[in-house]
Amino acid sequence: MKEMPFEKIASMYDPLIKSQIKLYHLSNHFDQYYQAGLLGLWRAYETFNPEKGTFSSYAFLLVRGSILQELRGEARRQKAEEIQDPHESMTFKTLSHEDTIPYLEDVNMNLYLIHLTENQQRWVVQRVVQMKSEAEIAEMYGVTVYAVKSWRKSAIKRLRTVLSAN
């Protein structure tokens, strides 16, 4: 394969890279995964040994492997962002002028709230702790009632996941 320039190989195997991105539904970060696929193709181009098989099979394995490796890395980065320093969590801060989370009053609640996003925490504090209606919460934060219901739905889903893991 070294007799051809890499640019020609890249254009020949462009459909392979795109098909792998499409197969794993990664189109929302197309450039990131396309770059990973190109890096896999480059590794295949540089390390190919014709005695061990065909280039197309080897390229397929390295392109797919690079894309999946990038996907795993992205998942690890997202998980690391979710697992943050609890002192940086919204449970230890003031969410707004009215809805401080009663940390010292209910330590157990805070153990679950650290797993929620800011809006999910707002819903829990306002609806469950302060017993406000969804309409009142929506008015307080300047959003629609449907947005508050979305916070509720995602908060309950996340809390169920956390509770089942414990």
Please report, for the domain that includes residue 38, its CATH number: 1.10.1740
User: What is the per-residue pLDDT for 94?
Assistant: 44
Q: What is the dihedral of CA 111, 116, 119, 121, to 10 degrees?
A: -20
Lowest mean pLDDT among 38-42, 45-49, 61-65, 93-97: 93-97
Final residue before a domain boundary, out of 64, 82, 100: 82
Q: How far is 11 from 18, CA to CA, in rounded Å? A: 11
Please check whether residues 26 and 41 belong to one and the same domain: yes
For residue 99, pLDDT beyond 60: no
Final residue before a domain boundary, out of 31, 59, 82: 82
User: What is the per-residue pLDDT for 75?
Assistant: 83
Region 111-126: what's the mean pLDDT?
85
Residues 6+ apart with CB under 8 A from 17: 34, 37, 38, 41, 63, 67
What does the pLDDT look like over 9-51, one tens digit per residue?
999 999 999 999 998 888 888 999 999 999 999 999 999 998 9
The CATH number that applies at residue 95 is 1.10.10.10
